[in-house]
A and B are shown apart, each in its own frame.
Chain A
């Protein structure tokens, strides 16, 4: 056996991993102490009231306490876990406070989170959860598409940049999943991310063509811009973008 082969054998020990359940439980035990301490002051107040007169905690308050207690522990749950629905409910609740304009970006952030969870599930070798995790990811991207029209990218170029970054993260994440043997969606079907991508490209090309129309261009550049506009009219935004890139090379 060569040294290289021997090192490769040693590196197979990278497969040694703790059980995911233990990882989550331990984290909650360690960090959950802080969570419990943050709420311990409440108990100084409640007992006084309990002694003054009988207090019946209503079912709705009790349910709220249980929910918020569970919410803390649900943060590390994965699709397929018992507490995942609590986590998702919490995320939906938070989304209600996001402005319409920022909803697309926020939904894409959640989609990335779902993809990270899918990655963890695949690496932890939990095949039973993979289908659920893929379903959750697709649902999150579909929700992002619903918010596509609420964004005015022309007035908010930074937001456009953030959204493009999110899409790139998703595409990178999907490629990584493919290397782990997890394929998300049919290659031929136009998925939600493609829809967002097309819209983003269209917005970007519109803005660039408008800006270039106001600039001084050489004859050659004007020719290329004409072709770019034709491709844009045909709906081939990627081709239009490539034409614009060619212009910058001249």
Chain B
């Protein structure tokens, strides 16, 4: 049991930041992102302990749980997503105040508009540009062709850019 725990502990350390960020960008709330992320790992841990279940790709498995939880979250709540541009804690490496203010504002606009994209577009943008997953990896996780993923990525980027440039 302690071996299982140790192994899952390493998986947790490896993916917690990514899963949190993935959920946060979709729900745009720190509190909800924390709840859904901890639920993701709790469910992941329960499955991990089940010796009959062989999890081949831990990353894909956790992302799938997180995606399902986000979908469930939006099913329960009405999707009156007020696109908020509130400042939420983001580690900002810059110390210059003026630069910092501009940086936070740009980031908030992108974050808000990313949250407003349809689920599939959000997912591929986050996975490819933030989590550094390759197109083949994303294709496998979404059960699509690589060409299909490239098309989705291209369209997602275009829609996002149009929305951001409107602001």
Instruction: Tell me the A residues contacting B by CB distance below 8 Å.
Output: 1, 3, 6-7, 9-19, 22-23, 26-27, 29-31, 34-35, 38, 124-125
* Distance A27 CA – B89 CA, assembled complex (angstroms): 21
Is B16 positioned at the interface, with any CB of A under 8 Å from its CB?
yes
* Distance A163 CA – B142 CA, assembled complex (angstroms): 44
Chain A contacts for B16, CB-based, 8 A: 18, 23, 26-27
Is B149 positioned at the interface, with any CB of A under 8 Å from its CB?
no
Known interface pairs A10-B129, A11-B130, A30-B42. Does A18 touch B110 (Cβ–Cβ under 8 Å)?
Answer: no
Q: Which of B20, B45, B157 contacts A30 (CB 8 A)?
A: B45
A16 and B38 form a contact (CB under 8 A): no
How many of chain B's residues touch chain A, expressed as a range? 35 or more
Chain A contacts for B33, CB-based, 8 A: 18
Q: Which of B12, B34, B165 contacts A31 (CB 8 A)?
A: B12
Q: Please give the distance in Å from B50's CB to the nearest CB on chain A.
A: 13
B157 and A27 form a contact (CB under 8 A): no
Is B133 positioned at the interface, with any CB of A under 8 Å from its CB?
no
B90 and A15 form a contact (CB under 8 A): yes
B92 and A15 form a contact (CB under 8 A): yes
Contact with A along B4-43 (1 / 0, CB 8 A): 0100110011001100110011000000011001100110
B90 and A34 form a contact (CB under 8 A): no
A27 and B129 form a contact (CB under 8 A): no
B110 and A10 form a contact (CB under 8 A): yes
Q: Binding site of B, secondary structure by majority: helix, strand, loop or mixed?
A: helix
* Distance A1 CA – B16 CA, assembled complex (angstroms): 33
A sample of 5 more A-B contacts (CB under 8 A), given A1-B161, A27-B12, is A6-B161, A12-B110, A13-B25, A26-B38, A34-B45
Is B138 positioned at the interface, with any CB of A under 8 Å from its CB?
no
Q: Please give the distance in Å from A72's CB to the nearest CB on chain B.
A: 10
Q: Please give the distance in Å from B57's CB to the nearest CB on chain A.
A: 20
B17 and A18 form a contact (CB under 8 A): yes
Contact with A along B37-69 (1 / 0, CB 8 A): 110011001000100000000000000000000
Q: Please give the distance in Å from B35's CB to the nearest CB on chain A.
A: 10
**Complex A-B: 24 CB contacts under 8 Å:** A1-B161, A1-B165, A3-B161, A6-B157, A10-B130, A10-B160, A14-B21, A15-B93, A17-B20, A17-B91, A18-B16, A18-B20, A18-B34, A22-B34, A23-B17, A26-B16, A26-B34, A26-B38, A27-B13, A30-B42, A31-B5, A34-B1, A38-B2, A124-B91
Query: A11: nearest residue on chain B (CB-CB)?
Result: B129
Which 4 pairs from chain A and chain B are nearest by CB? Answer: A18-B20, A26-B38, A16-B21, A15-B91
Known interface pairs A15-B90, A34-B1, A38-B1. Does A26 touch B129 (Cβ–Cβ under 8 Å)?
Answer: no
Known interface pairs A15-B91, A17-B21. Does A29 touch B107 (Cβ–Cβ under 8 Å)?
Answer: no
* Distance A7 CA – B37 CA, assembled complex (angstroms): 26
Q: Please give the distance in Å from B80's CB to the nearest CB on chain A.
A: 23
* Distance A15 CA – B17 CA, assembled complex (angstroms): 10
A31 and B17 form a contact (CB under 8 A): no
Q: Please give the distance in Å from A4's CB to the nearest CB on chain B.
A: 11
Known interface pairs A31-B8, A31-B9, A38-B1. Does A12 touch B107 (Cβ–Cβ under 8 Å)?
Answer: yes
Q: Which of A1, A29, A34 contacts B5 (CB 8 A)?
A: A34
Q: Which of B13, B25, B130, B157 contacts A3 (CB 8 A)?
A: B157
Most buried by B among A10, A14, A15, A34: A10
* Distance A235 CA – B161 CA, assembled complex (angstroms): 63
A13 and B114 form a contact (CB under 8 A): yes
Is B120 positioned at the interface, with any CB of A under 8 Å from its CB?
no
